[in-house]
Each structure stands twice: as structure tokens, then as C-alpha cells.
Amino acid sequence: MGQRFPLFPEQASTVAPMTDNLYFFLIGITVLFSTGIFLAILIFAIKYRRRSEDQVPVQYEGPASLEIIWTLVPLGIVMLMFAWGTHVFFAATTPPRDAIEIYGVGKQWMWKLQHMEGHREINELHVPVGTPVRVTLTSEDVIHSFFVPDFRIKTDVLPGRYTTAWFEATKPGRYRLFCAEYCGTDHSRMIGWIHVMEPQEYQAWLSGGGAEGSMAASGQKLFEDLGCASCHTTDGRGRGPNLVGLFGSPVALAGGGTVKADAAYIRESILAPNAKIVAGYQPIMPTFQGLVTEEGITQLIEHIRSLGQQPGAAPAGQPVQPEAAGTKAGER
């Protein structure tokens, strides 16, 4: 449909036709009812106008069936809009499990993007055609908005939070990436390109160099450089929780309650470690606020995500009991 409307952006993703079809349906319903109401007002104003000063209009009460019709018909249309809109919403906001993972950081006034393989890009993103792509986004400074008109995706990018956008491009080509939230004096210059490539061409681009190791490997190096391994040991005897198998698992907190160890929780633990204390541990971890960039935080998250459960390791986020470690309580 978009090809027949030259003023509309190209339909270049799986979500674009769904979004456009719903949009045109809503426009059609709006035009239909607006035209009908206007014509009814015009006809009634002429037909039932007052013709003399002493004319008294006759009160007319319509049948109950008419009342039922003009109540149920709009209700049915509104429910159709709701069901259709809900379907499109979930399709546009629920990325497939096999989607390629990309991390993005908005900064005045650029988009910084990083692939799992380690490739970094600024104001450009290379992706394969016909493959779902999930972009996890955050901001270093102010609110931005990740907007690709040809893909019909727009996601606010907030400082201190992770938001997600996903798309599956259907046509190779080059598509504009905008910031759709006013973010400062050079907001209009915060633009980039998404390059959609054939799978073989994309694999050739990935293997063409430029990567400094995967995000998980970079995160592991940063983890060691910051001295995190001295407290977060894999045997559970360190001063900090064991991180093996942590990502995605529930973590028991001091004072009761649990929290899921997702990206947001890990980010908060790095920047504000005393916000949620793991049960069995003391609030001794220092903050790394200002010491680690947003890109570094995402690398640390990917490193922790990559840690699989090791045989005999303590459950994620839990200390090893002295007896289980082969020592007595007073010998630690």
C-alpha cells in the first residue's frame, strides 16, 4: 500500500504494512463518520428549519431498535480498533527470541551502536535483510528517540533505563535513522543510516575487521581491569555474590523479596550497588558511577550474561555456606 502513496515513507519492515493498514483503517473510519455527521447536520438544518415564529416542533421518539443499532455499531467498531491495535502493538514490541542483539547509546548528538561480535558504529548500523534485529537502547545524557520511518519504529531512549526496539527489514537498502525527541541545539543533526544487506554481504562485512573482540570478551577484560573478580569469585567464597548463571535468575534480597537479574538490575548494581543488597552480603561494593561508560556497562552485562552455570558452583547471587565449602564457620 505504501508504494501507492508517494508522500509516505517506504514500507521496508515486517511491521510497516501492519501499521499502515491499521492507520488507513482509522483514517477511513474517521472520514466516514465525519462526512456522515456533517451531511446529517446540513440536511437536518435545512429540512427541519423553523419556518415561522409560532411554529412548535413535534417531539419524535424513535424506536428502541434504532437506539440499539447506533449503540452497538460504534461499539463494534471501537472493539475492532482495540483488538487490531493490540495485535499490532504486541507485534511491534515483542522481538523474536532469535533476533540479533545490538546495543545502542544515544548521546548529544550521535547514535553509538555496538554488535555482539564487537563491531562499533557511529550514526550507522549494518544489519542483514530478513533477520529480526533487537536494539537495546539507553542514553548518556538526555531523552532521545530512536526513529526509523521506513520501518515504522519509534522508541524513546531514556537516561538510566533500557528500552528496546526491534525490526526485521524486508528490503536491502539504506534507510534514515532520526532522533525524534528534541534533545538540544544540534538535535536536527542527530541522524544516521541503517544499511540493510544481503546475508552473505553482511557476513563479509562482519569478517572484514574492525572488531576488537566480542562484547562479552571486552566485558570480561573490563571486569578484570576494574578488580571485580577479586570479590565476585566463581566459588562463592568472595565478598560479593557469585555471578555464574546470574543473568535472568531470581536474586534474594536482604530484608526479604526477590528481583530478577536482568540488564536493568545489573546496571543499577554497578552504578548504585547499595540500592538492592543481596541476602547474605554486606553493602561494601563501591559505586562505579563516572568510572564506567554506558558502553562499558553494556559490555559488563554481556560478560555476565555469557557466564554459564558451572558444575558445583553456588547458585547465582548466593554465598557458599561454610560447611558446603569444606570449612567451619570460625575458620573463614
Average pLDDT per block of 10 residues along the chain, 332 residues long: 67 93 94 94 88 79 84 94 96 92 93 90 94 94 95 93 94 95 93 95 83 82 87 82 88 87 90 88 88 89 79 43 35 30
What confidence score (pLDDT) does residue 207 get? 83
CA 283 → CA 72, 142, 219, 236, 272, distances in Å? Answer: 60, 30, 23, 16, 11
Convert 211-226 into a string of H (helix), E (strand) and C (coil).
CCCCHHHHHHHHHHHC
Measured distance CA(151)–CA(168) in Å, rounded: 8
What confidence score (pLDDT) does residue 31 get? 96
Q: Is 172 within 8 Å of 196 (Cβ atoms)?
A: yes
> What does the radius of gyration of the chain's CA atoms come to, in whole angstroms?
28
Q: What is the DSSP string of 293-330?
A: -HHHHHHHHHHHHH-PPPTTPPPTT-PPPTTTTTS-GG
Measured distance CA(332)–CA(323) in Å, rounded: 11
What confidence score (pLDDT) does residue 16 get? 94
Could you tell me the three cell numbers for 158? Answer: 531514556
Strand 124-128 with 191-197, pairing: parallel
Q: Which residue is it, cell 560447611? A: 323
pTM of this structure? 0.77
Rounded to an integer, what is the distance from CA 150 to the centroid of its chain? 18
Q: Is 217 within 8 Å of 301 (Cβ atoms)?
A: no
Measured distance CA(57)–CA(83) in Å, rounded: 43
Measured distance CA(126)–CA(112) in Å, rounded: 12
Could you tell me the three cell numbers for 50? Answer: 423553523
Give the 3-state secondary structure of residue 49: coil
Strand 250-252 with 191-197, pairing: unpaired
Backbone angles phi, psi at 252, to 5 degrees: -75, 135
